[in-house]
């Protein structure tokens, strides 16, 4: 059946006009502009009585944005994943590692001499 153009689309039976008269008055608002380091400009609307946050995540790139167009916040520094060995190397020098290794080897050798089964 081809559409005759008489159907009211997106509405239901008994639905009237939706406007401020039916919903009530809209609260007074303020538009606040945030700027990110990728030069994106985002306008966010808040109620007049709302406390406006200093920073806001940019909806375009996800970086932090602030109210200062001349000095947007820098992108956060993302640390690469560190292995367990990398953390150990931060805490121990090569000399300390060699000393600990020698101590462990001597302990194993003494246990073998005493007849212990060491795997």
Cα 86 from Cα 100, distance rounded (Å): 17
90: its two tokens: 């931060």
Residue 40 and residue 71 in one domain = yes
Average pLDDT of the chain? 85
Residue 40 clears pLDDT 70, i.e. is over it? yes
Q: How many domains does the chain fold into?
A: 2
* 101/60 same-domain check: no
Order of strands, edge to edge, in the sheet holding 41-47? 41-47, 29-36, 64-66, 55-57
* Domain shared by 41 and 73, yes or no: yes
Q: What pLDDT does 19 receive?
A: 56
> Which CATH number covers residue 59?
2.20.28.270
Residue 2 is predicted with a pLDDT of 54
Confidence band for 61, pLDDT divided at 50, 70 and 90? very high
Range of the domain at 57: 27-77
Statement: residue 115 has pLDDT above 60 = yes
Whether residue 34 has pLDDT greater than 60:
yes
Instruction: Kindly state whether residues 93 and 67 are assigned to the same domain.
Output: no
pLDDT digits (tens, 9 = 90+) for 69-105: 999 999 888 888 999 988 988 999 999 999 999 999 9
The pLDDT of 42-51, averaged and rounded, is 94
11-27 pLDDT, tens digit each: 666 666 655 566 677 88
Read off the pLDDT of each residue in 58-73 and give the average, rounded to a whole number: 94
Q: Are residues 31 and 69 in the same domain?
A: yes
């Amino acid at each position: 059946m081809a559409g005759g153009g008489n159907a009211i689309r997106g509405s239901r039976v008994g639905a009237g006009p939706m406007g401020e008269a039916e919903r009530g008055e809209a609260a007074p608002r303020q538009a606040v502009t945030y700027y990110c380091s990728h030069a994106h400009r985002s306008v966010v609307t808040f109620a007049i009585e709302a406390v406006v946050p200093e920073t806001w995540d940019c909806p375009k790139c996800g970086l932090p944005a602030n109210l200062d167009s001349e000095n947007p916040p820098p992108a956060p520094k993302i640390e690469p994943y560190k292995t367990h060995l990398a953390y150990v190397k931060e805490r121990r020098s090569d000399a300390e590692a060699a000393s600990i290794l020698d101590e462990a080897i001597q302990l194993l050798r003494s246990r073998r001499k005493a007849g212990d089964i060491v795997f």
